[in-house]
Chains A and B, each alone.
Chain A
Amino acid sequence: MTAGLSGLRPWLAPLAWSLLLLAAVLGMAELEALFRQIQPGTGAVIYQRDSFAQLLLNHLLIVGVAALVSVSLGVAAGILATRAWGRDFLPLVSQVASIGQTFPPVAVLALAVPLLGFGSLPTIVALVLYGLLPVLRNTLAGLQGVPPAVLEAAQGMGMAPRQVLFEVELPLAAAVIFAGIRTTVTVTIATAAIGSTIGASTLGDPVIAGLVNGNTAYVLQGALLIGLLAVSVDSGFERLQQLIAERQGL
């Protein structure tokens, strides 16, 4: 019993944030009196066009798909560019990785609409492009940070290139790559809200609706949920990062 509890303790922060998020999603209506203070008058003060649970689900779905694609692409591109036969691409790939970060996500969205129209798809495409960069940059940094002597030893022992990659390079780069994944996911959660401007259904909906109608309560409700979601997921990732570090005996 005690062992079970102490094993749970490191998960306390992510668990607490998630419960808070859940409570906010399900119990937002209970705060009507509070939001009435912020938004006096006779109009509605709780966003109702969709349930918050539905918006959260849609948001998570978009983020999940986008993050999955950008993490896969970013890690794969990072691996390819650091292979002996892929070295020619390395300067190009690392340049793309650093330039892309300075590109505002709204601009990516604006560019995606004329090509892909409105809705979830252009949002996902924009999120993939934007989320690619942190994970790609960290994959490159992680793999390039493996000590040359370790690589030489791995090869000199007679490991196959595939074994060197999966047994030596990726485990040693895991912590850095994972930090990149964490940034990608967090950025994607926050940025996904902008998808509401081009017709995707996300937790950004109340924010946009509130801005358009001058309803500050809506804006706050959307922002609160997006914030709680980002913090919940981020603290979950922080815990996973600790686990990776522990497993490596560092």
Chain B
Amino acid sequence: MSARPMIELDNVSRLFEGVAAVDGISLRIDSGEICVIVGTSGCGKSTTLRLLNKLIDCSSGDIRIDGQAIAQLDAQRLRRRMGYAIQNTGLFPHWTVARNISVVPRLLNWPTERIEARVHELLELLGLPHADFAHKFPSQLSGGQAQRVGVARALAGDPDILLMDEPFGALDPITRDSLQNELLRIQSRIHKTIVFVTHDIDEALKLATRIVVMDQGRIVQHDTPVNLLNHPANAFVESLLGQGERGLKRASLQRVAERMLPLQGTPPAFSVAAQDSLRQALSLMLWHRVGELCVRDNEGRAVGLLPISALLHGATA
């Protein structure tokens, strides 16, 4: 993955009635990254995101997208180059799913056949069969389906950049988890630059290549999930991570495959999948009251051994 900065913020501030919602932040987001902005409610996450697509103008500072200063760019053209997905979806209730998804391609004046093909492709990509969903209205969708359509709509114009403002915030935990996995799966295919806003630190740790922690309009820390867990910059980041849970959070970022040992003798009775997290492995050990697990690959073959001691060693990545 190239490390070309796709998005650069240079000492950017935004005041509302004299009060800074965003206070002198500088940030580089590389092409292909999932940059997750996390922080408590009102800390300026959404404002930061809206500065990027000029829904709000900067009070001071510069923002460059792909090397171009956005102050010089036409707002509507800029937005058509950036996908935008928000909480509560903002789907147009009077339009079908297909019409909703085709908004940006229409604005870009794509030919009809290309638009239709794109709608088809995106519905399938998001796991919504075209025949079942294209002609439904938003009011006929479940929350999870509506948010999938929201994501499809954001991707429709094939933008380089995807801005997502708490897109899964209103979903139940199971639906949220599956949409997070979908996002990771899709991103591994399309390699967009994604800026994702959430107040949920677990969502941030799961999705991010790098996390931006914000507090009162400022950036407190900008680092990878593992570094954030290992070296929180201050007490605020520590409390956000939840002190007592940090060990488990870090374990959920690491795969069993990274820690397993060669298999010797008869494999243990209980198994764990190689791509499962250490956290899942630990949970299995606690549940079955055993000190070691057999590691199996996708085909179910025993490929290694995971003793509890392997969870403790080399813990600082």
Task: Please report A residues at the B interface, Cβ cutoff 8 Å.
Answer: 147, 149-160, 163, 168, 171-172, 248-250
Contact B55–A156 (Cβ < 8 Å): yes
Smallest CB–CB gap between B14 and chain A, Å? 16
Q: Complex Cα distance A147/B138, Å?
A: 14
Q: Is the C-beta of B288 less than 8 angstroms from some C-beta in chain A?
A: no
- A250 lies within 8 A of B107 (CB): no
Please, how many angstroms separate the alpha-carbon atoms of A151 and B96 in the complex? Answer: 17
Partner of A159, one of B76, B78, B91, B139: B76
**Interchain residue pairs A-B with the least CB separation, the first 5:** A153-B90, A158-B79, A156-B84, A158-B80, A149-B90
Would you call A150 and B76 a contact (CB within 8 A)? no
Interface contact B107-A158, CB-CB below 8 Å: yes
CB distance from A68 to the nearest CB of B (A): 26
* A87 CB, nearest partner CB in chain B, Å: 15
Give the most central of A153, A163, A171: most B CB within 10 Å.
A153
B residues near A248, Cβ cutoff 8 Å: 93-94
> What residues on A are CB-neighbors of B93 within 8 Å?
147, 150, 172, 248
Closest B residue to A146 using CB positions? B93
CB of A160, distance to nearest CB on chain B (Å): 6
Nearest chain A CB to B271's CB is how many angstroms away?
45
> Is the Cβ of B53 less than 8 Å from the Cβ of A156?
yes
Contacts of B89 in A (CB 8 A): 149, 153
Residues of A within 8 A of B53 (CB): 156
Residues of A within 8 A of B104 (CB): 157-158
Check if B86 sits within 8 Å of A153, measured CB to CB: yes
Residue of B nearest to A168 (CB): B92
With beta carbons under 8 angstroms apart, the residue of B87, B96, B107, B137 that contacts A149 is: B87
- In the bound complex, residues from chain A placing their C-beta under 8 Å from that of B80 are 157-158
Does B310 sit within 8 A of A, measured CB to CB? no
CA distance A172 to B86 in the complex (A): 20
Contact of B90 among A147, A172, A249 (CB under 8 A): A147
Contact with A along B44-59 (1 / 0, CB 8 A): 0000000001010000
Given contacts A149-B86, A150-B92, A152-B86, contact A157 B79 (CB under 8 A): yes
Contacts of A160 in B (CB 8 A): 76
Question: Is B76 in contact with A158, judged by CB distance below 8 angstroms?
Answer: yes
**Bound CA–CA A172/B93 (angstroms):** 8
Do residues B55 and A152 form an inter-chain contact, with CB atoms below 8 A? yes
B26 at the interface (CB under 8 A from A): no
Does B230 count as interface, using CB distance less than 8 angstroms? no
Contacting pair A158 B77 (CB below 8 A): yes
Q: Are A157 and B94 in contact (CB under 8 A)?
A: no
Q: How far is the CB of B120 from chain A (nearest CB, A)?
A: 20
With a CB–CB cut-off of 8 A, which chain A residues contact B163? 156
Main secondary structure of the interface of A (DSSP, over half): helix
Q: Is B240 an interface residue (CB 8 A)?
A: no
Tell me, yes or no, whether B280 is within 8 Å of chain A by CB: no
Give Cα distance in the complex from A33 to B151, angstroms.
Answer: 74
> Are B76's CB and A249's CB within 8 A?
no
Judged by a CB distance under 8 angstroms, whether B88 is at the interface is yes
Report 24 cross-chain contacts, Cβ distance below 8 Å, ordered by A residue. A149-B88, A150-B90, A150-B91, A152-B90, A153-B91, A154-B92, A156-B53, A156-B79, A156-B86, A156-B90, A157-B104, A157-B153, A158-B76, A158-B77, A158-B79, A158-B80, A158-B104, A158-B107, A159-B107, A163-B107, A171-B94, A248-B93, A249-B137, A250-B139
Q: CA A127 – CA B107 in complex, angstroms?
A: 42
**A149 cross-chain contacts in B, Cβ below 8 A:** 86-90
A-B contacts besides A151-B90, A155-B55, 19 pairs, CB < 8 Å: A147-B88, A147-B90, A149-B89, A149-B90, A152-B90, A153-B91, A154-B92, A156-B84, A156-B86, A156-B163, A157-B80, A157-B104, A158-B76, A158-B79, A159-B76, A168-B92, A172-B93, A248-B94, A249-B137
Contacts of A153 in B (CB 8 A): 84, 86, 89-92
Cα–Cα distance between A67 and B77 once the two chains are bound (Å): 41
Contacts of B92 in A (CB 8 A): 150, 153-154, 168
**Which residues of chain B are within 8 angstroms of A158 by Cβ–Cβ distance?**
75-80, 104, 107
**B302 interfacial by beta-carbon distance below 8 Å:** no
CB–CB B103/A159 < 8 A: yes
Q: Is the CB of A172 within 8 A of B94?
A: yes
Complex CA distance for A157 and B91, rounded to whole angstroms = 11
Q: Is the CB of B84 within 8 A of A157?
A: yes
- Report how far A82 CA is from B191 CA in the complex, Å: 40
Bound form: Cα–Cα A157–B78 in Å: 9
A154 to B94, CA, bound (A): 13
Q: A155–B79 Cα gap in the complex (Å)?
A: 8
With A and B bound together, what is the CA distance between A224 and B189 in angstroms?
73
Chain A residues with CB under 8 Å of B77's CB are 158
Residues of B within 8 A of A151 (CB): 90
Which of B80, B90, B107, B163 has the most chain A CB within a 10 Å cutoff? B90
